[in-house]
Chains A and B, each alone.
Chain A
Amino acid sequence: MNSWLNPPGADPLVRVSHLRLDIPVRGEPRRVLHDVSFEVGAGEALGLVGESGSGKSMTTRVLMRLLPHGAATDGDVLFDGTSVTGMDRRALRRYRSSEVAMIYQDPRAAINPVSTVGAFLTEALREAKVSRKEAEERAVALLREVGITDAPRRMRQYPHQLSGGLLQRVMIASAMLTKPRLLIADEPTTALDVTTQEEVMAILDEQRRERGLALVFITHDLDLAAAVTDRIAVMYAGTVLETAASANLHETALHPYTVGLLASRPSTVDVKRLWAIPGRPVSAFEAGPGCVFADRCPFAQDRCGTERPALRTVDDHQVACHRAEELRGRITYETGGDADRAHDEQTEPV
């Protein structure tokens, strides 16, 4: 076991180490995750950030053990010291129903369209032999907590009568009902407008903190992740490339990909020519034998194309880059000089 995975003190709630995942595609195993390692302490929030094909969603599938038939994993996935991949049926059911809760990008796919919000929320409690009256009271109280003021009316409504933002709040309430220890949120606000996103994120964050829940937050938005998590793991092509504290990731990012990702996000406060990482995001199975980012990295050397760097500690970060120390603080993506064109004076005010 790598020493950095074992910080002094208590065992983490979730420990994923050197996770590898193959999934059959057309009968052939295809690599989806190369090497994923991270930890989430009790009550801690971790952001898994990456573009499409990075494997961030697949990682949560492994955490929930929701994998397609024929999937093969390697490495450890531990929840409170117990191997998730090794759980028997009963343990797995208990784990899924009371230890972990999940919130998806599309709440409409996760809720039965023909049952009311109330029926959806009380179902699990009723199953656990809670009386109808008490179950409903608890559900209404929770809906109020997630900012739904007219909760009794909403309890009688059907999913299609609720907006996406409201429905996502119902999903948050539902996730809190079973009092889990870990919450997995997979792009919960990607389909929402920004103003709704702010609301939903604020509620999610508040609920999580009040209850001391651990959170794994999947997103493609580094700024959003930074706002609601303690630490961020940046994923690319089925690999964790860098893990760092969210608060200062912007200033201290070490991996060329992380820096590039930050530089390519258009800002609302100033106009500059964006630094665009060349090429397109590759999937895990397309990556060569070396660093998975090597073919897009402006700082790649011969070694990067042949030898895959392992995640190691540099400063307070874990980073998988051969040149991390050498490049520290020196990765500046120069922006082009033609940005001023956006200001030219041929237009008149509207």
Chain B
Amino acid sequence: MTAVTSTPVTAAPSSRLRRWRKVDPVLILSVLWCALTVLVAVAAPLLAPYDPSQTDILAAAQGPSAQHWFGTDAVGRDIFSRVLYGARLSLLGPALVVVIATTAGTTLAIAAVWFGGWFDRVLTRVLDIAFAFPPLLLAVLSVVLFGPGLTAPVVALAVAYTPYIARVVRSAALRERHLPYIESCTLAGLSGPRICVRHILPNVLPLVRAQAVTSLGSSLLDLGAISFVGLGIQPPNAEWGLMVSDGRTALLNGSPQESLAAGFMIIITVVAFNMLGERLAERAEVRA
């Protein structure tokens, strides 16, 4: 009956617990879309009808047709193929950002909680300061210093995202840290690193996962913006942010396919990651 009494007993039609029981179409669509994008990125060579960098001046700037589903760009490259291939670089960047930021953020957060005291105070202060920097600004700065490409913006965004992740994980880890099960591990003589890795980490992992997925979405958007302004991935590579930018001239000439297709991919993918992240966060909270 614990399960029953813990549901808010009111006349209100739905509670969070109840909502979870129902099939959640938003969640299913998000998962499907994310899986599809990853699949496309992996299998682009098998799926794409054309070589994404093969130019054909004779077939330049065409509208959609049976040969070219999304039409061709200003130098006659197949836009559909470029969108498929574009998934690779467009996802690789965010994936790297998230892997670095999540690892760093989680490690710092758990260490801060475990050691506490001045270490925690200093780290929290540093994270607060880092928090104040807009990620995009940091990325632009990094490109100015290290030159355009994938590496500079990715490293900068990873640094900028670390405090976001560290903050969320720190508060969750702090809650776990003072629960009796962690205290009883201390009393059992287990070592600090072991308690952190084997006990605190698994218990905050659902939240880390949620935060990572949400960050995938926002870093995809940020990296897209950096490419759009020409500071990220360089032509002739296929990348969505870059494609939106490349299609600008055609857009003004009345053929918006390239910008539209790439922009659409960015928006839908970002939304899907955000939705998925939000649902995972809800689920992590319900469990806690």
Contacts and interface: CB of A to CB of B under 8 A. Distances in A.
A24 B5 CA distance: 12
A27 B21 contact: yes
B46 interface: no
A26 B12 contact: no
B9 A30 contact: no
B6 to A, nearest CB: 11
A58 B3 CA distance: 12
Is the contact region of chain A dominated by helix, strand, or loop, or is it mixed? loop
Interface string A6-30: 0000000000000000011111001
B14 A30 contact: no
Given A26-B21, A27-B22, A68-B9, A52 B2 contact: yes
B7 A68 contact: yes
Q: Which of B2, B5, B14, B21 has most A Cβ within 10 Å?
A: B5
Which bracket fits the contact residues of A?
20 to 34
B65 to A, nearest CB: 49
Interface string A29-55: 010100000000000000000001111
Nearest to B8: A68
Contact of B4 (A32, A66, A69): A32
Contacts of B3: 25
A174 interface: no
A57 interface: yes
Nearest to A27: B21
Contacts of A55: 1
A58 B12 CA distance: 17
A284 interface: yes
A22 B5 CA distance: 13
Contact of A52 (B1, B9, B13): B1
Nearest to A69: B13
B13 A23 contact: no
Interface in B198-218: none
B4 A23 contact: yes
A58 B21 contact: no
A25 B3 CA distance: 8
Nearest to A282: B1
B129 interface: no
A283 B3 CA distance: 11
A324 to B, nearest CB: 26
A284 B15 CA distance: 23
A277 interface: no
Given A68-B10, A69-B13, A69-B14, A58 B4 contact: yes
A66 B10 contact: yes
A57 B21 CA distance: 24
A272 interface: no
B58 interface: no
A290 to B, nearest CB: 20
A283 B12 CA distance: 25
B19 to A, nearest CB: 11
Interface in B1-48: 1-5, 7-15, 18, 21-22
Contacts of A32: 1, 4
Contacts of B2: 52-53
> Which interface residue of A24, A32, A61, A68 has the most chain B CB atoms within 10 A?
A68
A67 interface: yes
Nearest to A238: B1
A95 to B, nearest CB: 14
B4 to A, nearest CB: 6
Interface string A152-193: 000000000000000000000000000000000000000000
Given A26-B21, A27-B21, A27-B22, A69 B1 contact: no
Contacts of B9: 61, 66-68
Given A25-B7, A55-B1, A66-B11, 8 more contacts: A23-B4, A32-B4, A53-B2, A66-B10, A68-B9, A69-B12, A283-B1, A284-B1
Query: Nearest 9 A-B pairs (CB), nearest first?
Result: A53-B1, A26-B21, A283-B1, A69-B13, A27-B21, A68-B9, A61-B9, A23-B4, A66-B9
24 contacts: A23-B7, A24-B18, A25-B4, A26-B21, A27-B22, A32-B4, A52-B1, A52-B2, A53-B1, A53-B2, A55-B1, A58-B4, A58-B5, A66-B10, A67-B11, A68-B7, A68-B10, A68-B15, A69-B11, A69-B12, A69-B13, A69-B14, A283-B1, A284-B1
